[in-house]
Structure 1
Amino acid sequence: MTKKPQSKKVTVNRKAIAAVTLVIALALTVVFVTLGVTGRKMDAQGLYNLLPWLPTPGENYNWRQALVPGAGLDEGVLTTLKPVSEEVKEEDLQTAAKVLMKRLSDFGWSDTAVEVKDNQLLITLPKSADVNYLKNILTAKGEFTFTTPEGEVFMTGENVTQAGFGYADQSGTNIALSLMFDGTGKEAFATKSTELSGQSISLRRDGVVITSPSIGEPITQGTVSIPGFTLDAARENAVLLRSGALPFALTQEGESVPTKALLLNDQKDLLIYALAAVLALIAVYLLVRFRLGGLVAVWMLLVQLALSYFFAALIGAGYTVLTLSAIYAALLVSFFAVVNLFIGIRDDARQGRSVRQALKDSYATRGHASLDVYAGLLLLAVVFIMMDQGIIRIFAEVFALGLLLGLIIMHLLLRLLLNETIHLFGGKTGLYAANATQKRED
């Protein structure tokens, strides 16, 4: 009877696999960061380019095409507006300044300023802003009235508590202006829509009819959706309704002129160096406390930062104080999540567990806690995205993207790379936590 041939046992070189995994991850990181700094021509003619998106100091400011700076961090344009009427009160000028700031905020322009000086309003805008378009929005008095077909005013914009816009149908071109009224407005609109059923009610802005929808049935709920607008017109009217009317009409005085940055003047690179110093302090802290594990964590935080800038450029968030605050707020959440995770590893290692087991246990306990934090903050950011149309929405969008990136990187990539690092360099606890019991894992 012949013996069955014995199958050879295949041995896997786990260290080699770990080394290859880490080298590939490092190479991809280097390529991505290099593209972020230099950009790349996508065709021979240079018609299609991948713009650099990582802020770097020096004379090459090509990244500013992808991350367009606001007036707070770069040169802007100064526009002077003056009241049409000759005599105005100081308190009315201050009221006008607040209304203009609200309008700019609702349009998403965060790095702007409105100053009252010599009976005029000095407005600093980013140099990338469409000044001519914004001028029409800012100079409009913004008085809204609701009138009967005979022109009788029965309501004003002051009775509107909320204004928004959205798609009226599936065409994608018919936009509806959505309004909610206060108690007085609800009653007045219900009465008139009952009287004028089968006729129309006009919405006027500064005396000019902008729409006259027909009334099919009485509208008594205190809300109304008016279709027939373009996206720009609906957004413009919603912003003007939310900001309230100016005390007086405005007109532009002279031409817009260049002006210095609101915050940094000519020190364009100062903020970049300051943020780099913050990152360096974070890196030193992680390296000193968590050594080789800290090095991997620093690597992942830099990946999150590079990806955050990339997506901020992709959605057109710009290089503003608001965008930077959102990016670094999400980065700090990831930093504290990492520190919390490594403290768990250190504590378990001090009790004699292996580093691999300590990593697994820390993710099972402290990792779940950080997941709850990420999920809670993401939910809060989504709520703000849904509720706001201005600068709060921009902050929430960038912050949500940063949180999502942090969650994926810290709970998937970091865990994978830490496991590969343990396979490659061994599980000596002193490599991963300072002042830990020197338990070795082969």
Structure 2
Amino acid sequence: MLYFAPWKIALIVGAIVVGVLFSVPNFVPESVRLEQTSSEGEAPEPKGIWTILPHQTVNLGLDLRGGSHIVFEVDMEEVREERLTNLAEDVRNTLRTSPPIFSARPAVVGEEVVVRLSDAEDMDAAMARLRDLNEPVTTTGGGQGMAQTLDISRGEDGQTIRLSVTDAAFEAIQQRTVSQSINVIRRRIDSTGTTEPTIARQGDDRVLVQVPGESNPQRIIDLVGTAARLTFHMVESDVDIGPAGEARTPPGVMVLPYPGAAEFGASPYIAVQRRALITGDQLVDSSQQFQDGQVVVAFRFNTSGATAFGEATSQNVGRRFAVVLDGEVISAPRINSPILGGSGIIEGGFTVQSASDLANMLNAGALPASLTPVELRTVGPGLGQDSIEAGQTAVLIGFALVILFMLAAYGSFGVVSTVALLVNVVLILGALSGLQATLTLPGIGGIILTIGMAVDANVLIFERIREEYRNGRTVVNAVEIGYDRAFAAILDANVTTFIAASVLYMMGAGPVRGFAVTLGIGILTSVFTAFTFSRLLIAVWLRRSRPKTLAM
């Protein structure tokens, strides 16, 4: 119907006003909207009237804003070596169970684990036990195939057993390792507040990372490439360590670098127990904080970690323990009293940024394998500005041609469609700003496509109105019936396109998602402006002008 209740008019106008408020910050300089902070790592705060009005702008993608493009390679050799080392320890423990089968210590030789039995008569029993270590290969989808994880064979001398990881098992390990690396990378980068980074698998053992707006790729490399394996060890103070870290250590003790000790004039190496008291897996939260004027990283353990930490500190009051990150001691405080609350702090001469990055890495978890940057590119803002200008030119040209066509084909009704198109673009811009979605160059293409779809809806409506008028209906009846009968076709076309946009968003990544986001938002705003808002404008025009003929 062409009658709009006051509350409907209020809702339509209110939606447009909200869209305008969210789009306005994109046309206001940042210096006017935001208060720049002096502290490193802190986001600028809104100032003045922008503390109560929306102040966020559209986030630009890597192709528009510039940023860092990095490809990391997962160290699969390290994964293989770790798997063989763990297999050797499993073999040793399996043969030592009661009744024990005596053998030399299992050794990793090339890509095999080799164990030599003390007595050849134990061969059958040893093979039977080791076969229990073999399991069906679990794929990334969770299913199990016919392949096994291990190849187990007897040596020609009758006393040697050789074990190796099958190709199928290693492929499954590789897939799982890369997937875990992508998840950890995503959590680390998301925790920095970066909007819409692109993180995707590239090939069998590489991960692509694109971070819009990040002009310092080394920070991303440091943040992403650090394994972040956190462990806590007791310090052994009775070990004499040379200036280059050389020392004769008793069993179960190792020497680790301690760069922070140089500030106190101490040796840059420290001896710690090889066995870790607690690992970072038991952390539930960490954050950057200030204590006594220093930047520290506060941490909190889960229940089991808090219990183990409390017992360890209770039994070692007066001794020092080392906080080890990726094989390097970052802090070695003295235990003055039992720490029973399950929380503590890490001191290490941090800056605000480095403490925040460490806390983010600990919260995201440790990488399953080392990452090596093999490709590094920085997309400068100049290239992004060229893309923005080209996109703006394309939008303006397309918009102008569409307006000229609508004015030439439909007269005063073309003016209504033009106003609706302008409102449509404003609503898209406001939605992108409010949702903090990322606009990419393909996203601009989505906006242009949306303009065409909005005009298509207007054409369907106006042609239906013209047809009804030619069939002898009055102007008011023709307009009313034209809108009602065109609605089904408009809804059908936009719903099917919205489904396609949803699939693109779920299955795509990076620029493809950017296109899907703008297309999806544009579909919603197009239906609103082409059917609801333009109908309101025409209803107001009919009520005031009361035309006798259809001015089309």
TM-score, normalised relative to structure 2: 0.41
Higher strand share: 2
TM-score, normalised relative to structure 1: 0.49
When Rg is computed on C-alpha atoms for both structures, the one with the higher figure is 2
